[in-house]
């Protein structure tokens, strides 16, 4: 039977200790990884990308070791490493921003430009082919997504997008922005929907992390060829909303 998350009112010392160790582990190793990525910036992209992926894998491992927070993936057969795709995922915590780099093929992530301002690891995000946008300028943000997304897909990278735009409470799904679907319509690359319940164990804006098993569901391929962006987006949003109800 799947282990259930601890209650948010569970103030047992082990949750504080594990969460504190994870916090220290994340920020100390992020500094080292960020420096390595920056130092290897003149070298082939695969080198700095693999450093970033190794760090994400380390954080996933530390989450299990310090906090008892593990994960299971359903639908991995829907992933074809030889076929780049646009991933649309719900967004509940920081966990999925790291874990999807660990789980999925080589990728570029859509993120807010302000993250690049943080010293070292923020700068490192800027040299691993992230797609950084200003959410306050939607027209320019869409243009950048379509331009860079097209280039990166044609280079063989996957594009990971959190179309809700911000982290939501566990079990909730906010209205999807259409940028990812518009990229799919323009390029003809498929959509892969992803749903998870990370917010049950790693709540948004919370210091405490709770032991349990995060469920990640990877949906079937959604074709984008000869389809309108609105239809593509609606299909992905409906699948993710239903999957979250079943988690």
CA 220 – CA 36 distance, rounded (Å): 36
Q: Which domain holds residue 17?
A: 13-246
Query: How many domains does the chain contain in total?
Result: 1
In-domain check, residue 4: no
Q: Among residues 146, 158, 2, 153, which one has the least CA distance to residue 78?
A: 158
Q: What does each C-alpha distance from 9 to 5, 61, 208 come to in angstroms?
A: 11, 25, 10
In-domain check, residue 227: yes
200 Cβ contact partners less than 8 Å away, ≥ 6 residues apart: 5, 170, 171, 210, 212, 214
Please write down the HEC assignment for all residues of 42-108: CCCHHHHHHHHHHHHHHHHHHHHHHHCEEEEEECHHHCCCCCCCEEEECCCCCHHHHHHHHHCCCEE
Q: Among residues 70, 24, 16, which one has the least CA distance to residue 209?
A: 16
In-domain check, residue 8: no
Instruction: Please report, for the domain that includes residue 78, its CATH number.
Output: 3.40.1130.10
One digit per residue, pLDDT tens: the chain, 247 residues? Answer: 344 444 455 667 889 999 999 999 999 999 999 999 999 999 999 999 999 999 999 999 999 999 999 999 999 999 999 999 999 999 999 999 999 999 999 999 999 999 999 999 999 999 999 999 998 899 999 999 999 999 999 999 999 999 998 899 888 889 999 999 999 999 999 999 999 999 999 998 889 999 999 999 999 999 999 999 999 999 999 999 999 999 8
Residue carrying the six token digits 């990728």: 107
């Amino acid at each position: 039977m799947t282990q259930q998350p601890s209650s948010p009112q569970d103030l047992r010392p082990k949750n504080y200790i594990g969460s504190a160790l994870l916090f220290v582990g994340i920020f100390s190793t992020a500094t080292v990884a960020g420096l390595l990525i920056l130092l290897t910036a003149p070298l082939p992209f695969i080198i700095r990308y693999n450093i970033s992926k190794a760090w994400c894998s380390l954080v996933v491992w530390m989450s299990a070791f310090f906090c008892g927070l593990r994960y299971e993936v359903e639908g991995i057969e829907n992933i074809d490493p030889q076929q780049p795709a646009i991933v649309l995922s719900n967004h509940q915590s920081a966990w999925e921003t790291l874990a999807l780099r660990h789980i999925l093929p080589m990728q570029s992530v859509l993120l807010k430009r302000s993250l690049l301002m943080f010293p070292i690891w923020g700068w490192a995000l800027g040299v691993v082919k992230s797609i950084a946008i200003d959410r306050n300028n939607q027209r320019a943000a869409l243009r950048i997504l379509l331009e860079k997304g097209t280039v990166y897909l044609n280079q063989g990278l996957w594009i990971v997008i959190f179309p809700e735009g911000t982290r939501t409470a566990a079990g909730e799904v906010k209205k999807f922005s259409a940028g990812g679907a518009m990229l799919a319509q323009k390029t003809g690359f498929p959509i892969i929907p992803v749903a998870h319940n990370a917010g049950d164990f790693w709540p948004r804006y919370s210091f405490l992390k709770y032991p349990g098993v995060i469920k990640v569901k990877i949906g079937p391929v959604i074709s984008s060829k000869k389809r309108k962006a609105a239809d593509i987006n609606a299909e992905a949003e409906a699948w993710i909303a239903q999957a979250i109800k079943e988690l």
